[in-house]
Amino acid sequence: MITTIRVEGAEFRAYHGCYDLEKKVGNRFVVDVCIEAEIGDAAERDDVTSTVNYLTVYELIREEMAITSNIVENVALRIADRIKASWNDILRVEVRVTKLAPPLGGKVARVSATIIR
């Protein structure tokens, strides 16, 4: 059985960006993940050990968000690769990292990058 599992709206304060001030002061980020996985009969058996564990996904995201990067594309790629490497049954993972109120010299609500693996 192919199942779509989502972790949406995970918010973090992190220090990603090209400017020194961003790396010093930080900014708010939101991470959304969509995972397609072949979980067999885990749903019928009600077996968390046979599917993608949401808590583990969140912890992987948190760990990667703690590593400073110049661009959100790099953060999204690292998160996608960590998730994909953690479960053999993942067919596809999509990760969007959004920076809220980016310092672009004007009013911009958010910028984001999406990586699909």
Please state the pTM of the whole predicted model. 0.93
Tell me, what's the pLDDT at 48? 79
- pLDDT tens per residue, range 47-62: 777 889 999 999 999 9
Domain count, the chain: 1
- pLDDT tens per residue, range 76-95: 999 999 999 999 999 999 99
**Residues 69/102/100/95 CA torsion (nearest 10 deg):** -40
Rounded CA-CA distance 38/31 in Å is: 23
| Distances from the Cα of 90 to the Cα of 67, 85, 100, 110, angstroms | 24, 9, 29, 29
Q: What is the mean pLDDT of residues 92-114?
A: 94
Residues involved in catalysis: 99
pLDDT surpassing 90 at residue 44: no
Name the DSSP letter for residue 36: E
Domain of residue 66, residue span: 2-116
Tell me, what's the pLDDT at 20? 87
- pLDDT tens per residue, range 6-41: 999 999 999 999 988 888 999 999 999 999 999 888
**99 pLDDT tier (thresholds 50, 70, 90):** very high
CATH number at residue 71: 3.30.1130.10
